[in-house]
A = this chain, B = another copy of it.
Amino acid sequence: MQKPPRIVVLGAGFGGLTFCQSFRHPTAEIILLDRQNHHLFQPLLYQVATAGLSAPEIAQPIRGILSTHPNVTVHLALVTGIDVVSRRVTSEVGVFDYDYLVVALGGRTSYFGHPQWEEFAPGLKSLDDAQRIRRELLMAFEKAESTSDLEERRRLMTIVVVGGGPTGVELAGACAELTRSVLRADFRHIDPRQARVILIEGSPRLLGQFSDSLGREAAERLTAMGVEVRCGVRVEDIRSGVVQLTGETLVAANILWAAGVAASPLTTQLGAELDRSGRVKVASDLSVPAHPEVFAIGDLAAVVDKDGQVVPGVSPAAMQEARHVARQIEDELEGLPDARRPFDYWDKGSMATIGRSAAVAKVGAFELTGFPAWLAWLFVHLVFLIGFRNRLAVMLQWAYSYFTYKRGARIIYGLRRPR
């Protein structure tokens, strides 16, 4: 008897998971490897970092999502190597041979050649990152309450967010709300409303991928919320509690990095050309050049679709790519002609939230701002959040926060680790 064709999928983000969910074939088996046991709804990660949501509300166990897909076997394992010549993946839990490989490992925070900044300016890619940021944000205010040194207090109550894309805008807005509304009444010696939230962006304006007017709208909204927006400012260096700008030094207990994303370093093992961010330049069918059995999708693939459109690193793109690859492999296994086709990206629009009742969105030629954009943001994020229970739980948290100006997840743990 012939061995069934085996597809190894690396990563259970939006790309890898969608592939496993949408792939249908009577015999093929799928092995899915991920370094975590959960799929993470990354678009809401900044809310975990700013104590609005708890970690399990934006994460779902991968096994649970795929329990009704008996052809999929999940292993919790770090991928350590890819050998495209012998068609083999090595991991913490062993070696897996493949007939097809779908690489969907996503991106990680990039410090533009300054990896030493990571220690002082955490990025936001995992639940552990988010909980570290939450702990350090909340701890700074706890320490400020207990110190009588005024300069130290100012340092503790200063937050710098580096990067004016959607993540930076969302983080800065959430930090401003945290300090201005949520924590307002809870201290006796400090006034959290005097906290400084500074948003640094290297280019001349916020939200580069949106229009000029949406970028200006975001800056105005943030300023009204108390954020100091600084565009066209270069970060020269980051040290412990210090951001060195050209000609200015910012002293801040919390420095959050939202400036750059690079592909997983495993892309270097695919033997393909990479772009500046380390992403694989894939062929029009999303396969890796010279390896038609290897596909790269999601944030680690540099994709130009059949209309010449550069596909952005967003979750709808990863999901569309996953379905495209699934259809191609199914057709090929069935022996159908023309199994390979150029990928066609359908841009559903993009959005960024700024804070309470404020967001910006573009859908095709349409642009939305303010409350309508915020409602649209709310709706889209709830619909795409995986799992009925999570959707309800998040809705409950949001309703609670909206009406009470409180946040449900202001819990510091990992502060005093069990031995």
Q: Which residues of A contact B (CB under 8 A)?
A: 35-38, 54-57, 59, 61, 63-64, 67-68, 70, 73-78, 93-94, 118-119, 122, 126-129, 131-132, 138-139, 142-143, 145-147, 183, 185-189, 388-390, 392-393, 396-397, 400, 404, 406, 408-419
Contact = CB atoms under 8 A, between A and B. Distances in A.
Contacts of A189: 73
Most buried by B among A127, A389, A413: A413
9 contacts: A37-B142, A56-B411, A64-B410, A75-B146, A76-B145, A128-B418, A129-B418, A393-B408, A396-B396
A312 to B, nearest CB: 26
Nearest to A409: B56
A393 B407 CA distance: 13
A59 B411 CA distance: 7
Nearest to A388: B400
Contacts of A75: 142, 145-146
B413 A55 contact: yes
Contact of A418 (B68, B132, B389, B393): B132
Contact of A146 (B94, B118, B185, B396): B94
Task: Please state the number of chain copies in the assembly.
Answer: 2
B35 A416 contact: yes
A292 B93 CA distance: 62
A186 B66 CA distance: 8
Contacts of A128: 413-418
B419 A118 contact: yes
B76 A411 contact: no
A410 B59 CA distance: 9
A128 B415 CA distance: 8
Given A59-B411, A77-B146, A389 B400 contact: yes
Given A38-B411, A145-B75, A406 B389 contact: yes
A76 B146 contact: yes
Q: Which of A68, A76, A129, A139 has the most CB of B within 10 A?
A: A76
